[in-house]
């Protein structure tokens, strides 16, 4: 158990809809990262938050947004969903030193299916 | 363009049959090369970090090595429980902590 909790584990929705994925990082970790994993693209970095503030952006679509709340949990909002958004969405967290060594602690992911 | 390529895509081994997985990379200023293990339905699990050419790290039956262009994950006398997808990732100079570029992975199957 990595200590990172993600909900829901599975989500099925229709095109055009909006969903919210939730992540609770390891106790004490200030950094939260969101990754998307699809069969053809592999794991792709989306966005990072540190102590409530956006720190870095990757290949995140404009239809997607995220935030980190004062209790450090984070939410990834996906809107106007398309078939191609079907993927596994992972949240990861690090402590102060974890980011330097590259040791990300990943949750078990949220599998999104868009029909 | 920064890129990580892993080969082979899939590898089947008999228990005890040693082999190596390859990760080749092109990145503007390497700030670390990382190996992760991913089991089906799970998130990736950290294995190793390598920072400079010539560096080696070991953990049980796994040994990771790094050159200026590629990394190898050597698996010695594998067991069925080593079956998983092994992911390689790099962080480039100027990249934020945790902003890693991942390869697509090598799916390893070890048969008893």
Q: What is the mean pLDDT of residues B56-65?
A: 97
Q: Give the per-residue pLDDT at A30.
A: 92
Q: Give the per-residue pLDDT at A99.
A: 53
A95–chain B Cβ distance below 8 A for any pair: no
Choose the closest CB to A31 out of B41, B98, B102: B98
Q: What is the mean pLDDT of residues B86-112?
A: 90
Q: Give the per-residue pLDDT at B30.
A: 87
CATH class of B3-94: mainly beta
Q: Give the per-residue pLDDT at B102.
A: 95
Q: What is the mean pLDDT of residues B18-39?
A: 94
Query: A40-99: per-residue pLDDT in tens?
Result: 888 999 999 999 999 999 989 999 999 999 999 999 999 999 999 999 999 999 876 555
Q: What is the mean pLDDT of residues B50-70?
A: 95
Q: Give the per-residue pLDDT at A32.
A: 95
A44–chain B Cβ distance below 8 A for any pair: yes
For residues B81 and A102, the model is more confident at B81
Assign B99 a pLDDT band (cuts: 50, 70, 90).
confident
- Identify all chain B residues contacting A109, using CB atoms and an 8 Å cutoff: 42-43
Do residue B98 and residue A99 have CB atoms under 8 angstroms apart? yes
Choose the closest CB to A45 out of B32, B42, B100: B100
Assign A101 a pLDDT band (cuts: 50, 70, 90).
low
| Contacts by B3-8, CB closer than 8 A, 24 or more apart | B3/B27, B3/B101, B4/B88, B4/B89, B4/B90, B4/B101, B4/B102, B4/B103, B5/B103, B6/B86, B6/B87, B6/B88, B6/B103, B6/B104, B6/B105, B6/B106, B7/B106, B8/B106
> How far, CA to CA in Å, does B99 sit from each of A8, A44, A48, B34, B81?
24, 9, 8, 12, 29
Distance from CA of B32 to the nearest CA of A (A): 8
């Amino acid at each position: 158990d990595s200590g990172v909790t993600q909900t829901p584990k599975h989500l099925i929705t229709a095109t055009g809809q909006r969903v919210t994925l939730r992540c609770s990082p390891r106790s004490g970790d200030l950094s939260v990262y969101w990754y998307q994993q699809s069969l053809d693209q592999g794991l792709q970095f989306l966005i990072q938050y540190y102590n409530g503030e956006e720190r870095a952006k990757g290949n995140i679509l404009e239809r997607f947004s995220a935030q980190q709340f004062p209790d450090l949990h984070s939410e990834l909002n996906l809107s106007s969903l398309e078939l191609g958004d079907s993927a596994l969405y992972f949240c990861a967290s690090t402590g102060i030193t974890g980011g330097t060594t590259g040791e990300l602690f990943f949750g078990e992911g949220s599998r999104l299916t868009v029909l | 363009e920064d890129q990580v390529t892993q080969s082979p895509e899939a590898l089947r081994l008999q228990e005890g049959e040693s082999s190596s997985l390859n990760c080749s990379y092109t990145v503007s200023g390497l700030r670390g090369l990382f190996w992760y293990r991913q089991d089906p339905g799970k998130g990736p699990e950290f294995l190793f970090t390598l920072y400079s050419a010539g560096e080696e790290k070991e953990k049980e039956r796994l040994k990771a090595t790094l050159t200026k262009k590629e990394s190898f994950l050597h698996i010695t006398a594998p067991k069925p429980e080593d079956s998983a997808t092994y992911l390689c990732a790099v962080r480039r100079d100027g990249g934020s902590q945790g902003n890693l570029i991942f390869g697509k992975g090598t799916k390893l199957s070890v048969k008893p």
